[in-house]
Structure 1
Amino acid sequence: MSRLINDELSSENPGSHGSAGSAASRQAPLSPEQALEHLKKCQAIAVKHAHSSFAPFMKALSHAFDLQIDAAKSNQEVAELSGIQRLFQKNRSELEEYYAGYVAEGFVKFKQKALCTELNASGGNELSIVDNLELEESLVLSGISQAVDNELAEPLWALNQRMALLNSGEPVREASNPSAPVQFCESLRKACKLIPMSIAAAKTVLNTYGEQLHAIAADVVADTNQYLSDQGLMQDLQYRKSKPKVAKRESIEGEAEALAGDGEDSSTYQSSLLDAIRGLQQTLSEMSKAPQQAFGGGAGPALNSQQLIDALQTIQLQSLGMMGVPMAGGQIAAPMNVGVMQQQLRAQLGGQGRVGDNDLHAIDLVGRVFEYMLRDGNLPDSVKAALSYLHTPFLKLAFIDPGFFENPDHPARVLLNNLAEAGIRWIGNDGTIQHNMLEKIRETVDRLLNEFTNDVKVITSILLDFNAYTKNIVRRQELMEKRAAEKAQGEEKLREVKHRVNKEVMTRTEDKDLPSSVLLFLLQPWFDYLSFCMLRYGDDSEQWSGALSLVDDLLWAVDVKSNNNDIQIQKELIYRLQSEMQAGFDVIGYDADKGEKLIESITDILRAAIAQKAPEPEPEPVREEAEKVIAEKKSAAPLLEPDHVSDEEQRVIDGLKQIEFGTWFEFEGGRRLKVAWYNARTMHYMLVNQVGKKEAMLTGLELARKMIAKTANIVSGSSKPFFERALEDIYNNMSGAASTDVEHI
């Protein structure tokens, strides 16, 4: 089973060196000969460890099955598990060879630049559908490999840089590194396909392997790094940790960078927004004709931060009882009233002193963030109400940790972003709540109100807990959406093919008065064979051309001929057509009896044409079936809408062509669906619900008409995180207010 790297070198030139800033760019890529030599050594290291680690894995697996058998609740379960255990022992040697072979094969694919192992995705552009077993395996293995990747972050990073030198300088990541943990996970999964297993048994196998993977991966990565370093590949390579970004690893979205404000561009942009807002706050304060009302009285010393924090702590605890009991659909009775909270703060401060200008600006800014939240059309009302109770702890945080505003990666900002995104994603205004998400959001808010006093680490703990809750949901949902999209793509491709075949056949037959048997042949079995040829081989293939040629030959041959040469050709065609028709029937598995009768009937028609006679009348059932099939084919919906499209509809359709996968729509009643995939050629949009299940397939025109009629609208028009959207809104509103005040001076 093991595949070793071919010694024969590719004639292609090495690729580019990659980005100038990459570690690999500091050392020139190796020649093809050198790269091949090192790659073979790396392959040998990986295969050696695959073999040496297999016996301990099998021993641990046997023990795991023993424990499961002891805990079994029925004789049937005992028999099933014992049978699987015996199969593993019986096929042990073959499993080991396959396992090591797939590990070796990863290096072959790496050399061919074809290695890209994504555990949560199916391969390439094939129209494969992830079944339940594959789904569960992907969930288990992706979690296992990610955990090991995290533990081996430094040596894996170094190995990726060194492997880039063997890859013509092109960047290498874990999915394309044949020595990475994910490759060993995938190799084991492929090898275990030899053993038929239930989902429960497969989980036992994979979880047992996961317990062994860290030691296997650590040895492989360390030995491979050592070998490459000893050969002079980046001997002085040093691992540099970037500043920690809480959200990037724990974000609930696949596009974590946008959600968490990750990336230098977003961080710089938000920082400039904040500076501009503070400048506007100062300007508006100076331009105000009346002094701003002081929270703690008009005179006296400025209150210190601790006095403000103590007052807010009292209000925070009071707000615990204000959240109330959810109404029907999970809706909270009412959001927190910021104005009332500010009155409570004034009462708490009493006559102790006045609030300084900077603290007033912090109170104002936090208030504006939560005012934007209550206006945000993306957020369902129930989520707005729950999140509004975070106002007090966030205001307190502004006094405890002034850097909160400046840092887009601050745990509190990331938590608010993720809570808002979860609300948009899994809660609808129609009362639908997926994965018990509203209760989880309320629980998170309640926990923050209870536990947060002055230690920011509490917020980090709450953030990690919330993200752990959502992470598995996201992974499962992404796989469900991918499965639904793949299925839709397959159906759409089949629809396009059938439309093309229907057009080819109907164009050739619509002006002809053909016998019913010929029509049935063309519109049923041969229609399916033409569809098969296009799907499998394409419309530029010999198979497709041959299948269409048979249609043309048959339609030519059924007509009575007067020319002797034509009659001779008719006679020759009878035997060829019989043979080709039978070959096509065999390919598509057409019913043998029906096929024999059709060929016999068409042969009789051809012989009648040769004899220059009209064919015998066909049985009534045959004629009725032919008429029914013709009506169905003629009424088959075209790929593009036949209706007249108005200018307004066309304008909306043109806009829909620009939307991205993942765009949310809200329909009548508050139901929210997401565009998981669409066909740019046919303008068919697949919409999934909040758990990733397909709900509808709409044409662009249907969607446009719903938008024009106001029964559907785009919910999420921005991939930016909530806090960034809030800062933009605050800046725009304050800019408008400043302009108005200037005009009145």
Structure 2
Amino acid sequence: MVEHGRPVFERYLDTLGKELLEYADQAKTNQEQSEYFSISREFKQQADELTRYFLGYLGEGFIKFKNQELDTTTGEEKFQGDMLSLVDNEDLEETIAISSITRRSENYYAEPIWSLNQRFAVLNHGRKVNERGNPVSPVQYCESLRRALCLLNLDTKAKLIAYKTFDREYIAQLGDVLDEVNEYLVAEGVLPNLRYAPVNEQAPPVPLVEEMGIEEVGVEGVAPEASEVQLPGAQVPPAGGGARPGMAPGAGPGVVPAPDPGLPPEQYQGHLVDAIRTLQGHIAQLGQGAPGAAPIAQGAPVAGAAPGEVGPASAGGAVGGVAGGRQALVYTSQQLVGALQGLQSQVLAVGEAQPGQLQPVNIAAATGEIARELRNAEDGEDRAVDPTDMHTIDLVGMLFEYMLSDDNLPDSVKALLSYLHTPFLKIAFIDKSFFEQTEHPARLLLNSLAEAGVKWVGNDGSSQYDIYEKIKNAVSRVLEEFKNDVRLFAELLLEFSSYTKKISRRQELMERRAMEKVQGEEKLREVKMQVNQEVRSRTDGRELPSAVLLMLLQPWSDYLAFILLRYGDQSDSWQRAVHTIDDILWSIEAKENNADKTRQLEMHDRLLESIETGFETIGYDQAKGKKLLEALFSLQKMALQSKQVEPAPEPMRNKLENLAAEKAGQSVAKQDRATPEEERMVENLKMIEFGTWFEFSGGKRLKVAWYNSKTLHYMLVDQMGKKVAMKSGLQLARSMLAGEAKVIAGSTKPFFERALENIFQSLNTKAESMDKDEAEGS
């Protein structure tokens, strides 16, 4: 790879230099022209170093792969999720450029890259390899270029030109390298018979027709041939066993194994929807026992055919099924959409409702209403719904049923979004591949609305940044304006995303400032805890007078905290300050021999000077400091006279120690001692992630923006990012055990993907149960 890369990279640099000169010729100002000339010269002067670094980074990828450490990203991960990284625009634009090149090239070279992933997995001791861990995937070349360009002082414009040229001149020739590496591995005997069979998007999902004995009813009652959909080198097994294409190996029991989440998002979503449709067909077969279209006149909920085309439903009047011995006409997609248009009548209820007043749509009742609407669509005609269309109706219904049961979403947002059920059903009929499209604007809009609801709407009726109104306006516009043009969703997505990005940045700034302040406070608390432990380790178990306890637990502890914060616990200053404690304690012990008395007299001035310096450093009250020193001097005189000092009374000592502990953030009250159950809950709280949401009594939602793993103090912010409270782990544990607080199970996955995964799991469980019941019945 490195041998191939050198001449190609050198040609790339040569072409880049020429393009920069062309940009210079087209420059509008002398300054801009001069900058392009300067950049072109710098590339030419540093060509050898750039080539060496670029090839070196490529070679480093193979070393990391060998050590199982290769995991190269494009950098876009920083700009995803709830937390919006506050980086400069240059970083963002560079990341976008790299991500675009990587995605485009991975799609273009999908076949050789997939083959290399499988072969490298063999070399990786059977561990899965994806593009991030493949040493010759496009992302490795882009990352090597990114790191090599760090040699030069380039602005964003120059970098973007470099990436654009790299895409055209270098990545365009990457296919030869990928093929050569594949051929080399084949020659070495690494999966020589590996085959890549791309998914046919025009074919139906993976059928279970032959294995399950299900017939597909087509035009004139002729059963079409089953069309197998294969992933590379895979075979389609029966439903009851083996691995299906794109399914995760070793998946748990079930009628259909779970799709492999390591697949690219588009493929993973496609296989997930295929699996759901397969399960729908299987469940329908077990429940209905008869294939064919579902006649609405008969009220059949779901047809029993396997997933797949059931004749040309779009050709109005096609035979769809048999009802009472008569053939029923099948509704076309256009007829279904037309019938659903009449159901978008809830707009006034949505537009006028306030938070908490709007009742959610009853999805089961809505499905029944759809059936009634279809029955009334064509008077006198006995019509049926294509089985795949019935599956679509059920799937959209399950999507919104999941939404209504999602604890992440506040109730008021659930109610609002439930009114999108009918519009989304229309979309699914208009665009048959809707569920497979991860970037469909309607799907992205629903994800954005749901995410915003979680972040800025509470179950206590609160709504930050007018988000509830924004969500309501978006839903109202869909109900009012959506006929059959999905561009409306793209427009709404653009408006809503633009608004939420601005407030996300504002919230992030506020949250970050609050977090930095709290982190400083927590650092001080940690220091005080360490100081208190250091002092107590020397005073516990010893009978000491009140003056010494007061000095060590108050002003001298403050001085130790100052030294620890400024210089650390490895510094000479810290060691001297701690050693002073030992000297003070030794100096008040009764001296029985002349050697100890002589030593005490010799150290007296040095000890006095050390204590005075400490008091001055922290600005301790001079009068109080003088009294403490006088008391210490009296105790030292008694020690020289071989007299025992009088210890502090027990109540006084307890008071001083408790005050010091509380000052260090260590509560000693009896009621704050945890029970075993509370201790277990505290241990569980140690494992929660930053960004975890809690819902407290009354519906108020607060987020754990940060917590200190040493002091177990949790910083809670509201939905605007403003700090609301600092709670100890014990306080949170008690609130949870008392039912006053609960964790809202969050997820980094978008709403739509979570819903599909939940639907798949539910259907798989149901199918498995039905299979078991059928087996026991037979």
Q: TM-score, normalised by structure 1?
A: 0.64
- 1:738 and 2:767 are equivalent in the alignment: yes
- 1:471 and 2:513 are equivalent in the alignment: no
Give the structure 2 partner of residue 208 of structure 1: none
Kept in 2, the 8 Å contact 1:27–1:234? The answer is no
Give the structure 1 partner of residue 722 of structure 2: 693
Give the structure 1 partner of residue 690 of structure 2: 661
Kept in 1, the 8 Å contact 2:296–2:384? The answer is yes
Question: Residue 408 of structure 1 aligns to a residue in which SS?
Answer: coil
1:698 Cα deviation after fit: 3.2
Q: Deviations over 1:498-544 (max 9, x none)?
A: 12222222343355554544333222221111112223333333222
Kept in 2, the 8 Å contact 1:336–1:389? The answer is no
Give the structure 2 partner of residue 491 of structure 1: 521
1:366 Cα deviation after fit: 0.8
Question: Residue 433 of structure 2 aligns to a residue in which SS?
Answer: helix
Give the structure 1 partner of residue 401 of structure 2: 371
Amino acid in the other structure paired with 1:332: L
Question: Residue 354 of structure 1 aligns to a residue in which SS?
Answer: strand
Give the structure 2 partner of residue 555 of structure 1: 585
Residues 221/343 of structure 1: CA separation in 2 closer, same or farther (3 Å cut):
closer
Match of 2:332 among 295, 299, 304: 304
Match of 1:459 among 484, 489, 498: 489
1:576 Cα deviation after fit: 0.4
Question: Structure 2 unaligned runs (5+)?
Answer: 8-12, 33-49, 58-74, 79-84, 105-139, 175-259, 299-322
1:151 Cα deviation after fit: 8.5
Please say which of residues 626-635 and 481-490 is displaced more in the overlay. Answer: 626-635
Give the structure 2 partner of residue 727 of structure 1: 756
Kept in 2, the 8 Å contact 1:331–1:381? The answer is no
User: How far apart in 2 are the matches of 1:304 and 1:689?
Assistant: 50
Amino acid in the other structure paired with 1:391: H
1:394 Cα deviation after fit: 0.7
User: How far apart in 1 are the matches of 2:459 and 2:563?
Assistant: 48
Give the structure 2 partner of residue 103 of structure 1: none
Q: Deviations over 1:209-236 (max 9, x none)?
A: xxxxxxx64257658999xx9xxx9974
1:380 Cα deviation after fit: 1.4
Q: How do residues 256-655 of structure 1 correspond to structure 2 at under 5 angstroms? A: 264-287=263-286, 288-289=288-289, 294-295=295-296, 300-316=328-344, 318-323=345-350, 325-327=352-354, 329-335=355-361, 338-339=366-367, 341-343=369-371, 345-346=373-374, 349-351=377-379, 353-512=383-542, 514-592=544-622, 594-595=624-625, 598-599=628-629, 602-603=632-633, 605-607=635-637, 609-610=639-640, 629-633=656-660, 638=666, 648-655=677-684
- The total of aligned residue pairs comes to 565
Residues 239/467 of structure 1: CA separation in 2 closer, same or farther (3 Å cut):
farther
User: How far apart in 2 are the matches of 1:271 and 1:358?
Assistant: 16
User: How far apart in 2 are the matches of 1:734 and 1:157?
Assistant: 33
Question: Residue 349 of structure 1 aligns to a residue in which SS?
Answer: coil
Give the structure 1 partner of residue 239 of structure 2: none
Residues 302/335 of structure 1: CA separation in 2 closer, same or farther (3 Å cut):
closer
Amino acid in the other structure paired with 1:532: F
Kept in 2, the 8 Å contact 1:675–1:685? The answer is yes
Residues 730/151 of structure 1: CA separation in 2 closer, same or farther (3 Å cut):
closer
Q: Deviations over 1:226-249 (max 9, x none)?
A: 9xx9xxx99745599xxxxxxxxx
Structure showing the higher helix proportion among its residues:
1
Give the structure 2 partner of residue 124 of structure 1: none
Kept in 1, the 8 Å contact 2:713–2:726? The answer is yes
Structure number with greater Rg is: 2
Kept in 2, the 8 Å contact 1:653–1:704? The answer is yes
Kept in 2, the 8 Å contact 1:28–1:169? The answer is no
Q: How do residues 238-249 of structure 1 correspond to structure 2 at under 5 angstroms? A: none
User: How far apart in 2 are the matches of 1:639 and 1:268?
Assistant: 54
Q: Deviations over 1:434-468 (max 9, x none)?
A: 22111111111112223332222221221121111
Please say which of residues 686-695 and 647-656 is displaced more in the overlay. Answer: 647-656
User: How far apart in 2 are the matches of 1:734 and 1:27?
Assistant: 50
Residues 383/179 of structure 1: CA separation in 2 closer, same or farther (3 Å cut):
farther
Question: Residue 707 of structure 2 aligns to a residue in which SS?
Answer: strand
Question: Structure 1 unaligned runs (5+)?
Answer: 1-19, 30-37, 58-106, 122-137, 159-167, 185-215, 241-260
Residues 591/377 of structure 1: CA separation in 2 closer, same or farther (3 Å cut):
same
User: How far apart in 2 are the matches of 1:343 and 1:445?
Assistant: 24
Residues 721/536 of structure 1: CA separation in 2 closer, same or farther (3 Å cut):
same
Question: Residue 374 of structure 2 aligns to a residue in which SS?
Answer: helix
1:732 Cα deviation after fit: 3.0
1:714 Cα deviation after fit: 1.9
1:674 Cα deviation after fit: 1.8
User: How far apart in 1 are the matches of 2:406 and 2:399?
Assistant: 10
Please say which of residues 709-718 and 427-436 is displaced more in the overlay. Answer: 709-718
Kept in 1, the 8 Å contact 2:293–2:385? The answer is no
Kept in 1, the 8 Å contact 2:549–2:653? The answer is yes
Kept in 1, the 8 Å contact 2:589–2:639? The answer is yes
Residues 224/332 of structure 1: CA separation in 2 closer, same or farther (3 Å cut):
closer
Give the structure 2 partner of residue 675 of structure 1: 704
Residues 617/692 of structure 1: CA separation in 2 closer, same or farther (3 Å cut):
closer
Q: How do residues 180-195 of structure 1 correspond to structure 2 at under 5 angstroms? A: none
Q: Deviations over 1:108-138 (max 9, x none)?
A: xx9xx9xxxx9xx9xxxxxxxxxxxxxxxx9
Residues 683/365 of structure 1: CA separation in 2 closer, same or farther (3 Å cut):
same
Question: Residue 366 of structure 1 aligns to a residue in which SS?
Answer: helix
Q: How do residues 19-30 of structure 1 correspond to structure 2 at under 5 angstroms? A: 27=5
Residues 55/656 of structure 1: CA separation in 2 closer, same or farther (3 Å cut):
farther
Residues 672/175 of structure 1: CA separation in 2 closer, same or farther (3 Å cut):
farther
Kept in 1, the 8 Å contact 2:560–2:577? The answer is yes
1:591 Cα deviation after fit: 4.3
Residues 399/220 of structure 1: CA separation in 2 closer, same or farther (3 Å cut):
closer
User: How far apart in 1 are the matches of 2:557 and 2:489?
Assistant: 63
Kept in 2, the 8 Å contact 1:557–1:609? The answer is yes
Kept in 1, the 8 Å contact 2:707–2:714? The answer is yes
Give the structure 1 partner of residue 731 of structure 2: 702
1:651 Cα deviation after fit: 4.3
Kept in 2, the 8 Å contact 1:152–1:218? The answer is no
Give the structure 1 partner of residue 129 of structure 2: none
Q: Deviations over 1:143-194 (max 9, x none)?
A: 6874797689889999xxxxxxxxx9994798997599xx99xxxxxxxxxx
1:639 Cα deviation after fit: 7.8
- 1:714 and 2:653 are equivalent in the alignment: no
Amino acid in the other structure paired with 1:491: E
Kept in 2, the 8 Å contact 1:686–1:697? The answer is yes
Please say which of residues 581-590 and 460-469 is displaced more in the overlay. Answer: 581-590
Give aligned-pair identity as a percent. Answer: 43
User: How far apart in 1 are the matches of 2:667 and 2:285?
Assistant: 63
Residues 236/373 of structure 1: CA separation in 2 closer, same or farther (3 Å cut):
closer
